[in-house]
Chain A
C-alpha cells in the first residue's frame, strides 16, 4: 500500500538538465515543486572532488557515476524478427543516474541545431524531391522553428557560461565562428577555450583545405564566470577527465554548477533522491495525471499527488514510463500507427586514428577538456548539396579529442598485435604523437519505420516491470553518410602531416557493445499531429494535458550535433509556455 504524500503543485520525474530547468522556472512562478530522482544526490566536493575524481578505472571503466544495469536495463535486437536480449553491461550508450543526470558527466559540448534541422522533411523534399528520401524513412518537422527556439538557446548558453566563437550574429557572418550556424542574438557568454596543439593543427589543416574551422562550443569555462542566477564557475584546467567524470573544480557547466545551489535554497522546492518513479497515475478518464508513484531504496512505495507532472528522465525511461502508465498509444511498426516508441534514433559516429612522426610531433593528448576541439560544419545537415551522393543528413567533424587517459587512449598503428612486446613498444612510440578524437565524425541518424521502442515480452526489471525493448539497425542512408564524412575527415589528418591515417567507418549492423554516444533520441516525439507525435510543440502530452515530457525523447530524428543544447532550449521554451499560458488556463496548449 503506497504511502500518500501531501499534494504538490508539480512533481518532476528525474532531476537532470531538463528537470532542473523546469524546477527553477516553475518555483520562480511560485509553484510548490518536488523532484523525484532515481539516483543519489551528488555534488562536487562530496562526490567527485579534484583529488580522486581523476580515476580512469573507477569512473571510465567501471562506470561509477552511471546507472547499474542490475537496477534496470533494456533489451536489444537489430531486426523485428529477432529475439531481443538484455543489455547486461553498458556499451553503445551510458544511461545516467542521480541528481544532475548526464549533466554531471557529459563533455559539455553545447551545440545548436541548424534552422533546417527543425523543418527537415519540408526542407529536403523541397530541395531534392520527395523521392530522394528512402521510403521507410519517417523523418518529420518538429512543429517549432529555430527562430522560436533561439531565445531559449541563448538562455541556456548564458546559464552555462558556454565558451565559443559566434559564427552568425543576427545574420552577420563572423570570422572564426561557424558560418553555417543559425543567427544568434548575441555572442557566447565566454570566449572560446584555448586549443592544445593537435586541435590547433587540425584547424590549420582544415583551413588549408578551404574549410572554415571553429572552436567547438564548450561548457568548460575559458575563464571564471557568474551566471544570471548568481552562481559562479571557475576556469577549466584542461585536466582531461571530463566525460564519464564529474568536474572537481567547478569549471564544467552542470545542474550542480549552474542551477541547484539556487534551487535548493527555495522553500517551495525539495528533492527526494534514491527514489524511482514506477508509474504516472491518471484518473478514471485517463486524460488527467494525478501524480506519480515511486519506490525508495528501502522498497517502500509512495504516492505523490500533483497537479502537473513533468517527465524529465532519460529518453528511454520517459518512453518506458509512458508505456507502463498507459499514456498515449504504443507505436506499432507493422500498422505504422501509434506514437509511443516511434522514431527512435541514436547517432552515427565514427573515428579516424592518425599516427605522426614522434620526432616531430608531441601532442600531449592528456591536455584537454571535454568539449575542447576545432570542428568544421561544411558537411552537417544540409549545408552541402547531397544530390550527387545519394544520402541525406550529415554531421560535424573535428579534432575533439578529450583525453589521453591510457586505458582508453593508447592507439597503435594498424598491423600492431593486440598484446606482447610489439604492442608495448608501439604504445610507447605512439602515445604522444598519435591522435584519436573519439567521436570525430558526429553524424545524424534519421528515423525509420522499423527502428523503435516497445516493451519486452520476456525480460523484466527488479520491480517485475517489462524492460524497454530496442529494435535498431543502421540503414544504408546513414552508412553512406558516414563513409562520406569519414573520408572527408581523414583528408584533414593527411593535410596535418600524419604518416598513417586509419579510418574506422561505422558499419551495419548496429552493435550494442560499441560505444557511440549517449544521444538516444525519440520515442516520445513532438509534432503537429497527434497521430504521429506524442507531444505537441510545447512538449505537452496530446493525451494528458497536465503531463509534459521533456528531453531528447522529443526529437523526431537526430541531427548531426550533440543534443544537450537543443533539449535544454526546448525545456526553457516549454517552461515559458507553462508559465505564460498553461497556468492561466490549464488545458491543451495546441488543439489538434
Chain B
C-alpha cells in the first residue's frame, strides 16, 4: 500500500469539516443533463483552483474525489467524504441547490449545520454560478462506490449546535463584492485569493476556535508543524521584495529567484496553482502585492551573541555550499535565505522543521528539477539547530526572534509523533 502523503491533508486543514457522506437526499440526479462543455471546463478549472482533490482524493488507491482521507484539524481528525456522483456513497443524489448550500454555506442536505468544514467561509465568496459549474464538472467524473465513515470530532465540535455560534462569529454569508475603485484584474485576484484558492485557510492567523482573524488576513499562521508565511507586501516578514512576476513564477513553477515551494505548498503548486491560467496567477499576484501588512521588525540579535557566532560557523561549513555565504542561493534552484519570508517569519516553525527533516521542493513541468534539501536532524544538536536558525534569521536584512533549544526539542517531538501516526 502506498504511503499517504502526509502533506495533503494539511492543504485546507485548519478546521476542516467533513461533509457527511451517507445522508443522500432523494433529489433527482440532474446535473448530468444538458451538459455544457464550457461550463464543465470552467468547473473543472475551479475544482483545480480550489484544490478539491487535495482533501477528497481516496488516499488508498488514488481515486479522485472518492474521499476517505484523514484531515487533521486542531480539534481532531475527520475523514473527507466521497464527492463523486455515486448515488449511494457519493453526492450523486444531491440537487444543485444542496450542493451549493454545502459548499458555500456549510449546510447539509438534511438541513443541519456542518462541523467546522472544508473551507466554506472562503467558498461562500464564490458566485453561485461558479459553484454550479464545479457541481456540473463533478457530475461528469466516474462515480466511485466508496462509503466513508462519518467524522467523529471531539467536544464541543461534536455538538453541531455549537456551530451556530461559530458561524455567527466567523461566517459571513455574502458572495464576493468587487471593489469598484480597483481594476478588473485586481478584483479577479481578490476573488480567487479570498474564494476558491482559499489562501487564508493556511496563511491567515486564527482565533482559538479556528476562525480567521480577519484584521490580520494573510499575515502568516502556524499550522500542523509548518509556518505558512506572510503573503502581504510586508518587507520584513512578507513578500515585499517579490515582484508580481516573482509571485506568478512561484505559483506557476514552484520556484523563482528567491524561493522554492516545499511541504504543503509543494502540493498546492503541483495540484493547483501550476495548473491555473497565467492571467489568473497575474491577477492573484496583483492583489497580493496590494495587501499591506504590519512591518514589525524584531530587535536584531547582536552578531557577537554566542548563538550567532556558532550559527555562523555551522552556516559556513554546512549551508554555504548550496545557499552561498551571502544567503542568496541559486535562482530557481536553491532558495535565497536572505529574501525568504519563511526564514524571516515571526516564529521559526518552518525553519526548524526543514533543517531537522530536510525538504523536497516541487517539480513542475516548467521547473522539473525538484531539488531537495538534506536532513540535518541526525547531525546537529538542538542547540546547534537553534544557533544556525538564529543566525539565518538575523543575518543579511533579517531581524527575527531567536530560535530556542526548547523549540527545536518540541519540533523533534512533534515530528516523531507525526511519523508514528503515519506509520511505516
Q: Check A-B contact in the complex, CB < 8 A.
A: yes
Given contacts A230-B367, A234-B330, A235-B330, contact A45 B374 (CB under 8 A): yes
Q: Does B178 touch A at the CB level, under 8 Å?
A: no
Q: A45-B373, A229-B368 are in contact. Are A249 and B332 (CB under 8 A)?
A: no
Contact A261 B368 (CB under 8 A): yes
Given contacts A51-B376, A250-B333, contact A232 B358 (CB under 8 A): no
Report the bound CA distance from A233 to B368 in whole Å: 12
Contact A224-B333, Cβ < 8 Å, known A49-B374, A249-B321, A265-B363? yes
Interchain nearest-CB distance for A100 vs B (Å): 15
Interface presence of B372 (CB below 8 A): yes
Main secondary structure of the interface of B (DSSP, over half): loop
- The distance in angstroms between the C-alpha atoms of A235 and B371, with both chains bound, is 14
Query: Using a CB–CB distance below 8 Å, which chain A residues touch chain B?
Result: 43-46, 49-52, 224, 226, 229-235, 237, 239, 248-250, 261-262, 265
A261 touches B358 (CB 8 A): no
Closest A residue to B322 by beta carbon equals: A249
- The answer to whether A44 and B372 have CB atoms under 8 Å apart is yes
Q: A232-B333, A250-B333, A261-B363 are in contact. Are A51 and B371 (CB under 8 A)?
A: no
* Chain B 313-339 interface residues, beta-carbon cutoff 8 Å to A: 318, 321-322, 330-334
Complexed CA–CA distance, A115 and B360 (Å): 44
**Does B207 sit within 8 A of A, measured CB to CB?**
no
When distances are taken between beta carbons in the complex, the residues of chain B under 8 Å from A229 are 368
Q: Residue-by-residue, is B344-388 near A (CB-CB < 8 Å gives 1, otherwise 0)?
A: 000000000000001010010111111111111001000000000
- In the bound complex, residues from chain A placing their C-beta under 8 Å from that of B330 are 224, 232, 234-235
Contacts of B373 in A (CB 8 A): 45
Contact (Cβ within 8 A) A231 B368: yes
| A44 pairs with B363, CB closer than 8 A | no
* Given A45-B374, A49-B374, A50-B321, 17 extra CB contacts under 8 A: A46-B374, A51-B374, A226-B332, A229-B368, A230-B367, A230-B369, A231-B368, A231-B369, A232-B330, A234-B333, A248-B374, A250-B369, A250-B371, A261-B363, A262-B368, A265-B363, A265-B368
Nearest A-chain residue to B317, judged by Cβ:
A51
Q: Report A220 CB to chain B, min CB distance, Å.
A: 13
Residue of B nearest to A53 (CB): B374
Nearest CB of chain A from residue B18's CB, rounded to whole Å: 32
Asked if B372 and A46 sit within 8 Å, CB to CB, the answer is yes
Instruction: State how many angstroms separate the Cβ of B327 from the closest Cβ of chain A.
Output: 15
A265 partner residues in chain B, CB cutoff 8 A: 363, 365, 368
Residues of B within 8 A of A237 (CB): 321
Report the minimum CB–CB distance from A320 to chain B (whole Å).
35
B333–A239 touching, CB < 8 Å: no
Contact partners of B379 in chain A: CB under 8 A:
51-52
Q: Which residues of B contact A234 (CB under 8 A)?
A: 322, 330, 333-334
Q: Which residue of B lies closest to A226 (CB)?
A: B332
Tell me, in angstroms, the Cα distance from A328 to B219 when the chains sit together: 70
Q: Chain A residues with Cβ under 8 A from B368's Cβ?
A: 229-231, 261-262, 265
Q: Which residues of B contact A43 (CB under 8 A)?
A: 372
Q: Of residues A46, A224, A234, which shows the largest number of chain B Cβ atoms within 10 Å of its Cβ?
A: A234
B385 to nearest A CB, angstroms? 13
25 pairs, CB–CB < 8 Å, chain A vs chain B: A45-B360, A45-B371, A46-B372, A49-B375, A50-B321, A50-B322, A51-B374, A51-B379, A224-B333, A231-B368, A232-B333, A232-B371, A234-B322, A234-B330, A234-B333, A237-B321, A239-B321, A248-B374, A249-B334, A250-B322, A250-B369, A261-B363, A261-B368, A261-B369, A261-B370
Bound-state CA distance A229–B370 (Å) is 13
Distance in angstroms between the alpha carbons of A248 and B373 in the assembled complex: 10
Interface centre among A44, A52, A233, A249 (most CB of B within 10 A): A249
In the complex, per-residue mask of B371-413: 1 if CB is within 8 Å of any chain A CB, else 0: 1111110010000000000000000000000000000000000
Distance between Cα atoms of A229 and B363 in the complex (Å): 13
Most buried by A among B334, B360, B371: B371
Contacts of A45 in B (CB 8 A): 358, 360, 371-374
Whole-angstrom CA separation of A88 from B334 in the bound complex: 42
Contacts of A230 in B (CB 8 A): 366-369
A249 to chain B, nearest CB (A): 5
List of B residues within 8 angstroms of A235 by Cβ: 330
Q: How far is the CB of B328 from chain A (nearest CB, A)?
A: 11
Inter-chain contacts of B331 with A (CB < 8 A): 224
Q: CB distance A50 to B332 under 8 Å?
A: no
Complex: chain B residue closest to A234, CB-CB: B330
| Residues in chain B near residue A232, CB distance under 8 A | 330, 332-333, 367, 369, 371
With CB as the reference atom, state the residue of chain A lying closest to B370.
A261
| Contact across chains for B371 and A44 when beta carbons are under 8 A apart | yes
Q: What chain B residues lie within 8 Å of A262 (beta carbons)?
A: 368
Cα of A193 to Cα of B246 in the assembled complex, Å: 30
Question: Complex: how many Å from CA A44 to CA B375?
Answer: 12
B367 closest partner in A (C-beta) = A230
Determine the distance from Cα of A389 to Cα of B97 in the docked complex, in whole angstroms: 94
By a CB distance below 8 angstroms, the chain B residues around A226 are 332
Would you list the 9 A-B pairs with minimal beta carbon distance, nearest first?
Answer: A49-B374, A45-B372, A232-B333, A234-B330, A232-B369, A45-B374, A261-B368, A224-B330, A249-B322
Q: Which residues of A contact B334 (CB under 8 A)?
A: 234, 249-250
Give Cα A586 to B396, complex, Å: 61
Q: Which A residues lie within 8 Å of B333 (CB)?
A: 224, 232-234, 250
Contacts A234-B333, A249-B322, A261-B363 given; indicate if A50 touches B370 (C-beta within 8 A): no
Shortest distance in angstroms between A196's beta carbon and chain B's nearest beta carbon? 17
Q: How far is the CB of B121 from chain A (nearest CB, A)?
A: 36
Residue of A nearest to B358 (CB): A45
Give the chain A neighbours of B370 by CB distance below 8 A: 261
| A231-B369, A261-B369 known; A248 vs B321 contact (CB < 8 Å) | yes
Instruction: Name the B residues within 8 Å of A52 (CB-CB).
Output: 379
- A565 and B147 CA atoms in complex are apart in Å by 57
Give the distance to chain B from A43, nearest Cβ to Cβ, in Å. 8
Could you tell me the distance between the alpha carbons of A265 and B373 in the complex, rounded to whole angstroms? Answer: 20
CB contacts (< 8 Å) of B318 on chain A: these are 50-51
Residues of A near B374 (CB, < 8 A) are: 45-46, 49-51, 248
What residues of B have a CB within 8 angstroms of the CB of A249 in the complex? 321-322, 334
A50–B322 alpha-carbon span in the complex (Å):
8
A50 to B324, CA, bound (A): 13
The interface bits of chain B over 255-266 (1 if a CB of A lies within 8 angstroms of the residue's CB, else 0) are 000000000000
The residues of B that contact A50 with a CB separation of less than 8 Å are 318, 321-322, 374
A238 to chain B, nearest CB (A): 10
Within 8 A of A (CB), among B50-64: none
A93 to B331, CA, bound (A): 38
* Cα distance A389–B378 in the bound complex, in angstroms: 59
In the complex, what distance in Å separates the CA atom of A125 from the CA atom of B21? 84
Q: In the complex, what residues of A have CB within 8 A of residue B332's CB?
A: 226, 232
Bound together, the chains give a CA A43 to CA B363 distance in angstroms of 14
Query: Cβ of B358: which chain A residues have Cβ within 8 Å of it?
Result: 45
Closest chain B residue, CB of each to CB of A258 = B369
Rounded to whole Å, the gap between the CB of B372 and the closest CB of chain A is 4
| CA–CA, A45 and B260, complex, Å | 15
